[in-house]
Structure 1
Amino acid sequence: MWGKLIAATVLGLPLSTFSVGAVLYAWPGPWQDGMVPGMLAILPVWLAVVAASPLFRSAPRAWGSLALATLAAFAALSAARTLGG
């Protein structure tokens, strides 16, 4: 239980930050206009990841899944910045 919670706490913050950032860069118009709503959206997304962490079967599966999701969100953010900028 604690391993899953720590995984979600540690990896959930970059996951939520990268995810919200990718949405902001992909949104039409300048990304600076969505900065404040985006920063406000990071906390509920992070809390949703932490709240869903007990659904993983084991702590190693949580670490692996969240690490892959974080890398995918980072790739999406990089692609959005490259293609949208």
Structure 2
Amino acid sequence: MWGRAAAAAVPGFLLAAGITGLACWLWPGPWQSTLVAGIVAFFPLWMGAMALAFQFRDGKRAWAWFSGGAALSLGLLWALQTLQWVR
């Protein structure tokens, strides 16, 4: 149980941040106009990750899936910025 809770708290946080960042950057227009909506949407995403973490069989699976998703979303954010597709 503690492994799943920790997976929700650490990589779940990063996953929610990455998804929120992608949504803010890929929305049409400047990303600054989506900042407040992104901050408001972040918390329910993180709470959803916390609820989803307890659906996994054990903590290792939750850590693996959430860490992989966080790495993918943050990697996409890094790639978009490196390629200068977003500003």
TM-score computed with the length of structure 2 as normaliser? 0.89
Q: Which residue of 2 aligns with 1:84?
A: 86
Q: Which segments of 5 or more consecutive residues in structure 2 lack a partner in the other structure?
A: none
The residue correspondences of 1:1-85 to structure 2 (distance < 5 A) are: 1-81=1-81, 82-85=84-87
- What displacement does 1:79 show? 3.1
CA deviation vs aligned residue, 1:31-82 (integer Å, no higher than 9, x gap): 0000011011110000000011111111111111111000011022223333
Contact 1:12-1:49 at 8 Å conserved across structures: yes
Name the amino acid aligned to 1:84: V
What code does the residue aligned with 1:35 have? L
Richer in helix (by share): 1
CA RMSD of aligned residues (A): 1.1
Percent of matched pairs sharing the same residue: 33
Q: Normalization by structure 1: what TM-score?
A: 0.91
**Count of equivalent residues:** 85
